[in-house]
Amino acid sequence: MTSQFPAETSATGAFVRQKYQFQGRFSRDGSTPFPAEAGRYRLYVSLACPWAHRAVIVRGLLGLEDTISMAVVDPVRDERGWALRDGPGHSSDGVCGFEFLSEAYLRTDPGYQGRYTVPCIWDTVTKQLVTNNYPDITLDFETQFVDFQGPGAPDLYPEALRPEIDALNAVIYTDVNDGVYKAGFAASQAPYEEAVTRLFARLDALEEHLSDRRYLVGGQLTEADIRLFTTLVRFDAVYVGHFKCNLRRLVDYPNLWGYARDLFQRPGFRETVNFDHIKRHYYMTHERLNPSGVVPLGPISDWDAPHDRARLP
């Protein structure tokens, strides 16, 4: 097994996430090279990846399954990267015929040198990657594929709440979503401690924020909740131990833990969570963090326990 430990670290040993090269945008009005169309685009995801998980949830909540097809990669990578092959919870690619996700990247740019990341979207018409820039993908699903959304689809990015959603997303990304990676992949003590300190300061603030409201923004489910959920659902299973984010567990936060269960138990969330993929990916592909490749059995967490969040405004 070849390590997939990210190489992006600064001179001080701090983890620095790579920039995402493919940043095409979709358009409802055809003003970009990639107009919103049904049946044209294919979403590639890993059920282990929190960034890809966002796209899976939003695609389902908006009823875009028949508009944008989806392929799930094998959660365990080797030196060739993400593979598309048959297995529990994943399968070979019957649409584009890729055996490895790298093929999509290299067909788009034969000189591409970065990592082959999920989520990404392939255009079956122009035969190229549109985007691997995960923050844009869900926003475009929400705002540019409106004509293809199912009946009763929620407005996850309401225009009146966008400034508040964007501001909250920015700090949650820096301190929580990417914060766990900054801690886990830090190559020296100081950046690790800085990342963990900021992570738990932000979780403490979110615990207080959620003490008197059911959702993060505007009293309704939004993009902000989905972005936080995909980190929270992995927290105790992976980040506490594997990434050394162990000052506290999610279950130690009454409001955050109840909030996470509230979302998990909603239609459109539970069925997207695959703890087998999550644990096998993290524990079996980061040799420097877990040289043995042994996958832990725990933790035992009751995600179906009553959450009592419906009482909140």
Instruction: Please list the active-site residues.
Output: 49, 181
Alpha helix locations (H) across the chain? 50-61, 102-108, 134-143, 162-172, 179-184, 189-209, 223-234, 254-264, 275-285
The candidate with the shortest Cα–Cα distance to 184, out of 283, 39, 81, 42, is 283
Q: How many CA atoms lie within 13 A of 31 on its CB side?
A: 4
Give the number of other Cβ atoms within 10 Å of residue 167's Cβ: 12
SS3 27: strand
Residue 77 one-letter amino acid: R
Helix or strand run (H / E) with residue 66: none
> Using CA atoms, how far apart are residues 167 and 177, in angstroms rounded to an integer?
14
Question: Phi, psi at residue 287, to the nearest 5°?
Answer: -60, -35
Cα distances from 313 to residues 78, 181, 214, 217, 310, in angstroms, run: 47, 33, 6, 11, 8
Give the number of other Cβ atoms within 10 Å of residue 63's Cβ: 16
